[in-house]
Structure formats: structure tokens, C-alpha cells
Structure 1
Amino acid sequence: MRVAIVHEWLVTRGGSEKVLEQMLEIWPEADLFSVIDCYSDSDRAHIGGRRAKTTFIQQLPRAARLYQKYLPLMPFAIEQLDLSSYDLVISSSHAVSKGVITGPNQLHICYIHSPIRYAWDMQHQYLSEAGLDKGISGWAARLILHKIRQWDARSSLGVDSFVANSHYIARRVNKVYRREATVIYPPVSIDAFECSEEKDDFYLTASRLVPYKKIPAIVEAFAKMPCRRLVVIGDGPEFEKAKAHVTPNITLMGYQPFGVLQDHMRRAKAFVFNAEEDFGIVPVEAQACGTPVIAFGSGGARETVIGDGSRRATGLFYAAQTPDAIIDAVDRFESLPVPIDSRACRHNAERFSAERFRQSFHAYCEHRYAEFVESCSVMAQD
């Protein structure tokens, strides 16, 4: 069985790239394809030094920095990859990689992180944040996204099986493509984090400071709670906006290396998470450290955090991404009659280990391929 693995783009190492790494652990002999490959040497080490076979976008000016600007060309580019010699094609997709062309004697399984967010239900938010919600440029952007939606829906027909990274994304797949998706949670490096039952008197949030993470709302909430300390780890375009709300009880640390992040995760009283994520790796990492999570109750967090109505609670939820809702949630956390058990947090996090992902995804693909071969054989006899 010849296996091809198709990834979106290799530029920085994020959550989807960590999924790719585990896929390459399962199929070390697989060939790797990507729209572009601009990995640094340190990031490339995580995929065994491999270099992906790329599209013509790799040769366009400043592709490493401007690759997102080339999104309108990506559907055409991904269709130019020749995968005709492979038996099993696995795409890791949150944009265009599921659009590769395969034939009737090839099985295409898509591990989908999300349908293209900025083309579907997040279009209006994306256009507003990009300053493309008005004028001629705004209408041009809307037309491009309209065309991408059409292509995205059509290309979903070429996928034989979808595997979603959460039930939340499975519902989105059904909404957009009218397809069912099996859920296999993505891998989290649980073993890289140590559990601690000893907690200091501060709250923590950590992420890239981009608009949808809603970090300034967390900072604003704690600015209204001067007796409660907050530490913020991360950098990004919202840093200055968050900084504008800082009071003496709040520390903005900016970007920090992994060792500093893990140390704060282990010692924090609780981790505050205000994003609506498809899955959300950071809350699982916090729980791996034995740290409860106070989370906005939507998206993947609903599947990775056990709310305070359970005896096995690992955190609690709030209903709106606003400072007032966060303040109320922190007050409820402080008033819990029984503190959340750090060991319960760790135990819950272990459901998302890399080993479990490898076992589940490998078994699923093997089973689907066996079914596919059998069905092809029956049709050939007929």
C-alpha cells in the first residue's frame, strides 16, 4: 500500500502540524505533499527531516511570508499535485488540502481540522478584522470567498471519509458538506507536562494574542478584580490592546519559551480560556499539569473540559466572551464547595495522548482501506 499525506502548508509548527507529525509516525514511508514548504531546520526535525513535494505557489514571490495572500490560487494549485500512483491518500485539511484529485481505485481519507473558517461561518468576522468589510476591496474579497465556498463544497465530494478533530467540527462538516464525520481527537503532548497539586495564588492565560482568542476581555475582567492576580503569556497583534487594560495585579509576559510556560501552567490556580476553538490544545495541556480550566462554554472546550456539574469536574464554563461573564466565572470558581482535584484534571487530559491518537487513527484507516479493497474486488467480479 502506497500512502500519500497531503498537508496545507509547512510554514510554522502549530496544532495541525503536530497532527501531521503523528501521521508520519504511523506511516514513516509515506510521501509528503504541501502547497508550500518553508519550514525552518528546527521545525523540520519534527517531521524527520522530510521535505514536501510542493505546488507552483512555492515559486511565487515571498511565498513564505505572503502565502495567505495566495489563497485564491490554492484550489487550482492543490489540484495540480499528481497523486495517481498512491493507494491511500490522507489529507490534513483546514483550507484546501482535501481538494487533491484522486481516482476510483484510490481511497481518500480527510482528517479535517475545520472547513475553511473564513469562507463559511466566520466570513463576516474575518472581513471585519482584515478591514475588508467595506468598499470595492470588500466586495472583491466577498466575491473571492464566494468562489472558494463553491469550490470547497464541490471538492468535498472527492473525499471518501471524513475524520473530524471534535464533535463540534463534525457538526460543522455536516452543516457545510452534508457529510458525516467520525471523531478522533487530535494528539496532545501529555508527557511533556508534569502534574502538580501545589498551586500558587494566580490565574493564567496563554495563547497567540489574535482577535478571536479574546485575550483583552480576560485582562479587562481581572482589571476589575484587583485582589486577583493574572499572568498572560503570549504575543501577537492584540498585545497593545491587552496592555491598555493592565493594572498592578496583571502581568503581561509576552512570548516565553516552553519551560516558562509549563512552570506557570503547573503553578496556576486555574487557566482562563476565552476562545471558541475547533478543539483547543492549550486547555488540555493545562489539565495535564493538574490545573483546572475556566472556559468559554462553546466549541471544542465543551469536549475537553468536564464542567463543575460532574463529580469528575476539571473546570467550569461561562456563557459569553465578556469581562462580566469571566468575573462571574472566577467568583464561582473561588466559591466551589470542593476544590477541583488536580489528579482528575490529569486523568482527563490523558484521553488526548499522542499514543491514543496514533492507535485510533491507524485502526480507522486500516479498517476503511480493508473495506475499500473488498468493495473494489466485489465490483470487479460483478
Structure 2
Amino acid sequence: MKVSLAHDHLFQLGGAERVVLEFHQIFPEAPLYTLISALQPGNSFDQLNIKTSFLQKMPGAKKHLQYYLSLMPHAWEQLNFSDYNIVLSSTSALAKGLITPPNCLHICYCHTPTRYLWSDAYNYIEELNQPRIIKKVLPLVLHKLRMWDLFAAQRVDYFITNSYYIKKRIRKYYNKPAHVIYPPVNVEQYRVSPNIKDYYIIVSRLRPYKKVDLAIRAFNELGLPLIIIGGGEEYAKLKKLAKPNVKLLGEVSEERKIQLLSQAKAFIHPQIEDFGIAAVEAMAAGRPVIAYNEGGATETVIDGQTGILYNEQSWECLVHTILKFDHTQFNSEAIRNHANKFNATRFREEIEEYISKVWQDHNNQTII
């Protein structure tokens, strides 16, 4: 059985890339196809056999891949998967549109239907930091791309996804079933600290949909210490919004992040996430999570046991929730034990079991 891996593109080491690395652990000989790789040497992907599309050599693509948006479907369709029995793809964009031969099985781990085409289509254009003329033309490009994306999703033989929340989206936008396997979290590297300090914490990319501004407004009002770890396009805006009790640290080392998570009173999670790996990492450190009651958090946070879920995505509701919160009412070891259910070994076992099953079903259908 010859296997290939596929992933949208390689620019950072986030949750989706962790999934790909776990795929590599299962299939160490499988090459990884991707549109473009801009990773610097000295990372976990150095050991992989990476094959890129023609976009890798296009001028400026490593810094501004979005300018080649209209070429991405063609780039995926030009990659040749004719030598493989199984293609295992990881996507939140367009990798689902790769073309496989008739007897090849395409299994797609879909982190979410393409946000800028479906669930965030309108906000994406409004929040885009581009000239007005581009914002006028872009909806026409996205309309054509949306039709391609819907058509491309029908090429996938089996969808896997990261939560029941995203399973519903796949059904809504692609009219396809999906099997839920929660993503891997490196829970073993986190530890429970006996020394809880007087601050709350957020670990997040600073993008509009993360709603970090709501948390800052809440803590501005409360006057309580809040530490924010992470960088992104909203850093300057959020830094200006924050009062002295709110500290934006930017990117920090993994060791520093682990330490800060383990000593916080609670982890703040104001956004809607597909799954929410950072919240599970906080629980792996034994810390309760204060999360908005929608999206992946409803599947990872047990209200009243591993955190608190609040029902209105507003800074006012977050303030009210924090005022009622008492971190001493939570059992750190019980929280950590819950987080252990999302470990990487469990993920690999479930992926292997699922692929074995659908591969057997596929072969039986072929014989019939």
C-alpha cells in the first residue's frame, strides 16, 4: 500500500501542521505534497520528503501567496498522485481538490470548510487590509472559487474532521458525511503547578475572529491582570487598546508558555474555534478554561468541572462570568486527566483504525 500525504501550504507550525506530523509518524515513508513551503530549516518538517507545486517558484509567493489565489485550484490539479493507493490530506483551504486516479482512496482530514469561502465569507472581505479596488474585485474571484471548492469536495472519498461542530459545517456546505477524530494535543509536555499566581492568560494568534479584543475590554473594565501570548495582524491594534493590567508578550518560547499556562488562575477563550487546541493545553496544565459556549469548546470543556462556559459573546458577559469565577473550586488533577483524553497516541490509533476500515471497504467495493 503506497501512501501520500498532502497539506495546503507550510508557513507556520500550528495545529494543522501537528496533524500532518502525526500522519508522518504513521506513514514515515509517505511524501508530503503542498502548494508551497516557506519554513526555515531546523524544524520538525526537515525529515519529510516535501514536494511542492509550481507556485513555489512564483515571484513573491512565499510572502504573498494570497495574490496567487486564483491559481491555487490549478496548482493542486497539476500535482500527480497516480502512483499512490491512498492520499491522506490535511486541509482548511483547497487541498481537498487534488485529483486521484480511480482506484486511489482520498481521505481528507478537514479542519474546517474553507473559511473565506463559506462561514467567514463576508467578514473576510470587510476585514481585509487591502485597497478598495481589490475589495470590489475579490467577491467575483471568491464566487468562482466557491463553486470550485464545492465541486472539489465531491472528489474526496472519506472526510475526517476535528469536532462535531465542524462535522455539521461539512454537511451544510459540502453535503458530505464526516467522521470525527479529535486532533492531537501534546498533553504530556504540560504539568500542574502548585504555585498559582494572580493573573489570567490567553494563548492565541491575534486575528479578528479570535475576539481577543473582547477579552481586553473585559479586563480593562475589571482591572485584573491578563497575559496574552501570541502574535498576528492585530497586535498593534490590541496593544493600543490594552490598559497597563493587560500585557501582550508576543511570541514566547514553548517552555515559557508552559510555565505561564500552569501558573495562571484560568485560561480565557472568547472565540469560536473549530476545536481549540490551546484550551486543551491549558487543561493539560491543570488550569480551568473560561470559554464562550459555542464551537469546539463545547466538546472539550466540561462546564463546572474543567471550566466555565458563558452564553453571550460580549465583553460584558465575560466580565460577569469572571466576577463569579473562583479558581479554588476546581481540581487541577481532574482537569489534567480530562485533557489527557486528547493525547497524540490516541489520535494516531484512531486514524490508523479508521484508514484500515475504509481501505478494506474500498477494496471490497472494487472487487464487487
String of CA shifts for 1:335-355, please: whole Å, max 9, x gaps: x8x711111211111111010
Distance 1:339 1:126 in 2: 40
In the alignment, does 2:333 pair up with 1:343? yes
- For 1:224, what is the secondary structure of its paired residue? helix
Q: Which among 108, 112, 115 is matched to residue 106 of structure 2?
A: 108
In the alignment, does 2:158 pair up with 1:161? yes
Distance 2:67 2:325 in 1: 43
- Runs of 4+ displaced beyond 4 Å: none
Match of 1:11 in 2: 11
Gaps (5+ residues) in structure 1? none
Distance 2:46 2:335 in 1: 32
- Which is worse superposed, 123-132 or 357-366? 123-132
Query: Structure 1 68/137 Cα, relative in aligned 2: closer, same or farther at 3 Å?
Result: closer
Distance 2:34 2:242 in 1: 41
- For 2:64, what is the secondary structure of its paired residue? helix
In the alignment, does 2:191 pair up with 1:194? yes
Q: Is contact 2:117-2:145 (8 Å) kept?
A: yes
Identity %: 39
TM-score with structure 1 setting the length? 0.93
Aligned 1:113-262 pairs, distance under 5 A: 113-131=111-129, 136-226=133-223, 228-262=224-258
Q: Is contact 1:295-1:317 (8 Å) kept?
A: yes
TM-score with structure 2 setting the length? 0.96
- Which is worse superposed, 162-171 or 340-349? 340-349
String of CA shifts for 1:50-77, please: whole Å, max 9, x gaps: 2411111111002211112212110111
Aligned 1:232-381 pairs, distance under 5 A: 232-308=228-304, 313-334=305-326, 339-378=329-368
Deviation of residue 266 (structure 1)? 0.4
Distance 1:320 1:58 in 2: 43
Match of 2:39 in 1: 39
Deviation of residue 136 (structure 1)? 4.3
Query: Structure 1 31/253 Cα, relative in aligned 2: closer, same or farther at 3 Å?
Result: closer
Deviation of residue 245 (structure 1)? 3.3
Deviation of residue 140 (structure 1)? 1.4
Distance 2:244 2:54 in 1: 51
Deviation of residue 42 (structure 1)? 2.0
Distance 2:354 2:333 in 1: 30
Query: Structure 1 248/82 Cα, relative in aligned 2: closer, same or farther at 3 Å?
Result: closer
Deviation of residue 91 (structure 1)? 1.0
Distance 1:190 1:303 in 2: 17
String of CA shifts for 1:341-381, please: whole Å, max 9, x gaps: 11121111111101000000011001110111111112xxx
